[in-house]
Amino acid sequence: MASRLFTPVSIGPIALTNRVTIAAMCQYSAVEGTMTDWHMQHLANLALSGASMMLIEATGVVPEGRITLWCTGLYSDENETAMKRVVDFVRTVSPIRIGLQLNHAGRKASAHRPWEGRGALGSGEGAWTTVAPSAVPLAPGWPTPAALDRSGMAEIRAAYIAAARRAARVGVDFLEMHSTHGYLLSEFLSPLSNRRDDAYGGSLENRMRFPLEVFDAVRAAWPAARPMSVRISAVDWFPGGHGPSDAVEVARAFRAHGCDAMDVSAGQTVEDQRPVYGRLFQTPFADRIRHDVGIATMAVGNISSYTDVNTILAAGRADLCLLARAHLWDPYWTRHAAYELGWPLRWPGQYATLDRYRPRFI
């Protein structure tokens, strides 16, 4: 009998062979939003992991929507051509499903790469003016973003549509709308960053309005035969912020608008957040949304062992488990899980000798 990790599942109209997905991981290695050979080796390497699907990193729908100068984008022909080259190559080495995470970084844009220092870029470092629902800076030392007017919101919605159409031409199987971690769409959802007094601020219903408008526009532009998910922050980890009960209502609204799955994360809306870390610390939020809303959920956050994944799945707490850093540490994580759990997951032909390899230690 297969462990839960290796049971198949369908998300919308696509079938996945197991319950492990490689979460989107920013590589900060693009040039003007265009993927480079780094992305080729990074994604091709992960494609051999044995996971059923992987998500391409948060990808800006406009240049100003990138988190950093070095983040991928999908707003130009050059971006599209390079991404298609990478995706086409990955298809030659693995049957893994490929998803793409679309993003606008909002007031968290124009930032340093993590290994080059925290915080916003300076005026001599290529910084640009950021935008947000309200003119509220992320934290002391960060610039005050420009509050979006209706015209600016319409332009961003149109950029999402254009990026979705490019993603369809690139040929990815799955599209995820990034609405978490304090980026633009989650800035609309959170009362900590959304101080508007028009139809897009105030009540949760109003704060959801723009993210739902963007989702509807993307869903209409994205092929009906390919599923979509939304990544949300279930809690802001700060007094007066977005909370778990709000997340349930947000998930319920997205489901009503045709969302196929919710990728449930948490926090990073404000820098002085007060998270409660621990093993599987975000899984309870995915669990609650799955049962209260009746939508497929993806659990993420401090999931590292094969037992972690099997426990989450067997208990019905989520439909998929997303692992990021675990796959950087061990790019063959899912194949090693198969070995340990006695599941016959075959290696590609070039590595076929490993099908008969029985190491004492892995």
Question: SS3 for 147?
Answer: strand
Q: How many CB atoms lie under 10 A from the CB of residue 117?
A: 10
- Cβ neighbours of residue 47 closer than 8 Å, sequence gap 6 or more: 54, 90, 93, 94, 96
Residue 160 falls in the annotated catalytic set: no
Mean pLDDT of 195-224: 97
Distance CA 29, CA 54 (A): 18
Compute the half-sphere exposure of residue 58: CA atoms within 13 Å on the CB side of its CA. Answer: 26
Domains annotated for the chain, with CATH where assigned, are: 4-356 (3.20.20.70)
Angle at CA 81, nearest 5°, toward 77 and 84?
Answer: 135
Give residue 39's identity as a one-letter amino acid code.
Answer: H
The per-residue DSSP string of 80-108 comes to HHHHHHHHHHHHHH---EEEEEEE--GGG
The residues near 72 (Cβ < 8 Å, ≥ 6 apart) are: 27, 30, 33, 34, 35, 39, 56, 57, 58, 59, 60, 66, 79, 83
What tens digit of pLDDT does each residue of 9-34 get? 999 999 999 999 999 999 999 999 99
Question: How many residues does this entry show for the chain?
Answer: 362
pLDDT band at 302 (very low <50, low <70, confident <90, very high): confident
Q: How many CB atoms lie within 10 A of CB 122?
A: 11
CB 46 within 8 A of CB 54: yes
Q: Give the mean model confidence (pLDDT) for residues 118-135.
A: 93
The overall pTM is greater than 0.85: yes
Cα(209)–Cα(253) distance, integer angstroms: 10
Catalytic residue among 28, 75, 160, 183: 183
Residue 188 has pLDDT above 90, yes or no: yes
Nearest to 103 by CA among 231, 228, 12, 10: 231
The tokens of 89 are what?
A: 């190559």
β-strand partners of 176: 101, 229
Rounded to an integer, what distance in angstroms lies between the CA atom of residue 148 and that of residue 209? 14
**Residue type at position 328:** L
- pLDDT 10s digits, 237-276: 888 888 999 999 999 999 999 999 999 998 878 787 777 7
pLDDT (0 to 100) of residue 2:
62
For residue range 39-78, what is the model confidence (pLDDT) as tens digits? Answer: 999 999 999 999 999 999 999 999 999 999 999 999 999 9
pLDDT band at residue 362 under the 50/70/90 scheme = very low
Q: What is the pLDDT of residue 354?
A: 79
Please give the radius of gyration of the chain, using alpha carbons only, rounded to the nearest integer: 20
